Amino acid sequence: GAVVSQHPSRVICKSGTSVKIECRSLDFQATTMFWYRQFPKKSLMLMATSNEGSKATYEQGVEKDKFLINHASLTLSTLTVTSAHPEDSSFYICSATLVGEQFFGPGTRLTVL
């Protein structure tokens, strides 16, 4: 199947700093990528839909100024958590669509101190 990678796999940062997470589709082009957040013992919550060459579509309750998404190419979407706070600590997962099926990245564990 198609492969989606994320970088970094883990990141620890200080409160107030910004963190960028990359999502790449390695062997296919993806016009649409999705960013999810997974809380402990809870489901994956869709944060936003990233569209190549246009603005991302954010879900209700997700701050677009805090979670900046850039989908600059058909193989790369980035999520930047700006001015991170401890409550932003979470597991962030991206996925990319190929022929109607979503393939998921391995996730990024963000810890904000």
Q: Residues near 29 by Cβ (< 8 Å), separated by ≥ 6?
A: 74, 75
**Least CB distance from residue 16 to another protein, whole Å?**
30
Nearest in space to 22 (alpha carbons), one of 76, 95, 75? 76
Total of chain residues touching another protein, rule CB under 8 A: 18
**Residue 107 is a binding residue for another protein (CB under 8 A):** yes
Contact map string, positions 75 to 94, toward another protein, x by CB under 8 A = ------------------x-
For the chain, the first-to-last Cα distance in angstroms comes to 37
36-65 positions binding another protein, by CB under 8 A: 41-44, 46, 49
For 7, half-sphere exposure in the C-beta direction (CA atoms, 13 angstrom radius) is 7
Q: List interacting residues with another protein (CB under 8 A).
A: 1, 4, 34, 41-44, 46, 49, 93, 95, 101-107
